[in-house]
Amino acid sequence: MTLIKLDDVGLKFQVRRAGRISFKDYLLHGLFRRSKKTSFEVQALENINLTVEEGDRLGIIGPNGAGKSTLLKLLAGIYPPTSGRRKVVGKISALFDIALGFETDANGWENIMYRGYLQGETPRSIREKIQPIAEFSELGDFLNMPVRYYSSGMKVRLAFSIATAIAPEILIIDEVLSAGDMAFQTKARERMKSLMSSARAVIVVSHDMKSLELMCDRVLWLDHGKMRPIGPAEEVIKAYTQQNNQGEKRQAA
Amino acid sequence: MTGYLSSIWRLRHFWMALVRIDLRKRYRGTVIGIGWSLLQPIAMTAVLCLVFSRIFGQSIREFAPYLLTGLTFWGFITAVVMQGCQSFFQGESYIRQHPAPLAIYPLRATLGAGFHFILGFAIASVFVWCVNGFGNLPALVSLVPTFVLLFVIGWSLAVCMGVANVLFQDSQHLIGIVMQMLFYLTPILYPPKMMLSKSPHFALIFNYNPFAMLLELIRKPLLDGELPSLWAIGASSLFALLVVCAAMLALRCFEKRMIFYL
């Protein structure tokens, strides 16, 4: 069964120039729609064709700024495609920017509730999960403290524990494994494994080629928002590392 | 539309939690906490009463609840408009993570403002009942649909302002000036009769200003124990319909693309 289908999808960002827009620029360019000075366009994704079937474990690789995270956000429904079509069947759980979106004045317990509610929990259903979440985060008494006093590592622990407490249908992950200290990373990796085995489909972005090769059966290589080969994990990763190595050699020479 | 509303309803625990924390945050670290919400309108009314009851030649007994309802109402409208402007920026980190209906963020602002409105209104009611005795029941019942109307208008205004401000960030400063002008064009401080006796042209302002109409829906039943005029009811409902349509249009055109402007 096809869970996700992207049909010739493109995404173009309108990026505002930093700083104040002068009134003259606004009148001259903004009003007449040919806004060259007030904003510029970035083609983040171009001609993406992708199908994700039931049971797929898809990895996405590519250099920084290739559009990997943008593609994930588009899959998760946060960005709408500016061209082409996106079709998704099933509920998506996404793990990205996970240290964002805390109410800093509320304490850890309360934030567990808020995040849970956003993920569709009710006060009753979250009550059963709140204890396991707290235990997994290992934050102990810190949970009684407002989140504004948390270190970034603690925030990531909490966010990860909340986000992975529900069994997802389609799981989308953006390099969260690099978060937390060593002990937590091992634990997080275990949890990811069990999540990945229970989810109907998984899409991962990572720079860790070794774990990608183990986790995924298919890999998509993105570069400058365009699709490079997509295919069996081993082949694509090999091609990608080869190209990177060549680049290094050229620099060395 | 119903699908959209039901998805908002499904997230009710989320936005209600946000409203609660907004209220708590406002008085974080203060001694009397939520008491400030009660004290602030009372103090404001007391001050203005002392000044204006002389100038307008009104008895405090009548003028105090008149002022209090006016100020509370205006507090709600400005809060909805000004916080509505910020609502999407405030919810940005959630918007970037979770595809939820965007109208919940202006709703958060509206409910927070609504809470303070209800408090202010309760104080005014208690004052009126203590001084003049319990009013006319059917007239008071008419306040229920009025509050619903006010809520719908507030939410829609917040949505419109939120969208406008994300697309064009000068909106929040512009609307600040507009609100200041509207404050004087609406009979909040002064009694309309007094202005009408100076010049009949003021009738134009009072009869065609939707905020003046809304204020009549609130004041007539509470202060005079009378049902509001049909004109006020009709005009307010029409205004509500207009802003709801504007909000729906704004969401329809820009909801999906909003993320690109945040």
Q: What is the mean pLDDT of residues A28-54?
A: 74
In a domain, B53, yes or no: no
Q: Which residue has the higher pLDDT, B157 or B100?
A: B157
Residues whose CB is less than 8 angstroms from the CB of residue B47 and which lie 6 or more positions away in sequence, other chains included:
none
Assess B28–A contact: CB distance below 8 Å, yes or no.
yes
Q: Which of A114, A156, A170 to mutate to probe the B interface, most B CBs <10 Å?
A: A114
Residue-level pLDDT at B211: 94
In a domain, B240, yes or no: yes
Residue-level pLDDT at B260: 85
Give the whole-angstrom CA distance, residue B202 versus residue B204.
5
Q: Which residue has the higher pLDDT, B7 or A214?
A: B7
pLDDT exceeds 70 at position B201: yes
Percentage of chain B beyond pLDDT 70 is 100
DSSP state of A100: -
In a domain, B29, yes or no: no
Round the average pLDDT of chain A to a whole number and report it: 83
Q: What is the mean pLDDT of residues A114-121?
A: 86
Residue-level pLDDT at B198: 80
Cα→Cα distances B69→A171, B116, B143, B193, Å = 52, 12, 13, 17
Upper half-sphere CA count for residue B53 (Cβ side, 13 Å): 16
Q: Does B97 contact A94 at a Cβ distance shorter than 8 Å?
A: yes
Residues A52 and A218 sit within 8 Å (Cβ to Cβ):
no
Total number of domains in chain B = 1
Q: Which of A83, A95, A118 to mutate to probe the B interface, most B CBs <10 Å?
A: A118
pLDDT exceeds 70 at position A19: no
Give the whole-angstrom CA distance, residue A184 versus residue A204.
19
Tokens of A43: 């083609």
Residue-level pLDDT at B59: 81
Q: Does B96 contact A118 at a Cβ distance shorter than 8 Å?
A: no
Per-residue model confidence as pLDDT tens digits over B231-243: 999 999 999 999 9
Q: Which residue has the higher pLDDT, B19 or B51?
A: B19
Confidence bin at A17 (pLDDT 50/70/90)? low
pLDDT exceeds 60 at position A37: no
Q: Which of A16, A80, A110 sits opposite B256 (nearest CB)?
A: A80
Percentage of chain A beyond pLDDT 70 is 87
Nearest to B87 by CA among B15, B178, B163: B163
pLDDT exceeds 70 at position B218: yes
| CATH, domain range A2-7+49-252 | 3.40.50.300
Give the whole-angstrom CA distance, residue A1 versus residue B23.
47
Confidence bin at A187 (pLDDT 50/70/90)? confident
pLDDT exceeds 70 at position A171: yes
Confidence bin at A22 (pLDDT 50/70/90)? low
Q: Does A101 contact B94 at a Cβ distance shorter than 8 Å?
A: yes
Q: Which residue has the higher pLDDT, B192 or A107?
A: A107
Give the whole-angstrom CA distance, residue B179 versus residue B166.
19
Round the average pLDDT of chain B to a whole number and report it: 90
| Contact residues, chain A, for B21 at CB < 8 Å | 103, 105-106, 110, 114
Dihedral of CA atoms A24, A30, A32, A35 in degrees, nearest 10, equals 110
Chain B residue whose CA is closest to A39: B261
Residue-level pLDDT at B41: 84
Residues B189 and B74 sit within 8 Å (Cβ to Cβ):
no
Q: Which residue has the higher pLDDT, A177 or A82?
A: A82
Residue-level pLDDT at B246: 97
Residue-level pLDDT at B2: 85
Q: Does B18 contact A77 at a Cβ distance shorter than 8 Å?
A: no
Per-residue model confidence as pLDDT tens digits over B33-85: 788 888 888 888 888 888 888 787 778 888 888 999 999 999 999 999 999 99
| For chain A, domain boundaries | 2-7+49-252
Q: Does A96 contact B97 at a Cβ distance shorter than 8 Å?
A: yes
Give the whole-angstrom CA distance, residue A119 versus residue A164.
11
For A82-109, b/e burial (b = at least 16 CB within 10 A) is bebebebeeebbbbbbbbebbbeebbbe
Q: Which residue has the higher pLDDT, B68 or B135?
A: B68
Q: Which of B97, B105, B170, B255 to mutate to probe the A interface, most A CBs <10 Å?
A: B97
Q: What angle do CA A25, A27, A31 make, to 5 degrees?
A: 115
Partners of residue A5 on adjacent β-strands: A51, A87
Percentage of chain A beyond pLDDT 90 is 14
DSSP state of A187: H
Q: What are phi and psi of A102, to 5 degrees?
A: -105, 150
Residues spanned by the domain of B170: 58-261
Handedness of CA B68, B73, B79, B82 (dihedral sign): negative
Give the whole-angstrom CA distance, residue B66 versus residue B124.
8
Cα→Cα distances B257→B29, B77, B105, B211, Å = 39, 27, 16, 32
Give the whole-angstrom CA distance, residue B92 versus residue B60.
46
Partners of residue A95 on adjacent β-strands: A173
Residue-level pLDDT at A20: 62
Q: What is the mean pLDDT of residues A214-231?
A: 87
| Contact residues, chain A, for B97 at CB < 8 Å | 78, 94, 96-98, 100-101
Under 8 Å CB pairs connecting chains A and B tally to 63
Q: Does A117 contact B14 at a Cβ distance shorter than 8 Å?
A: yes
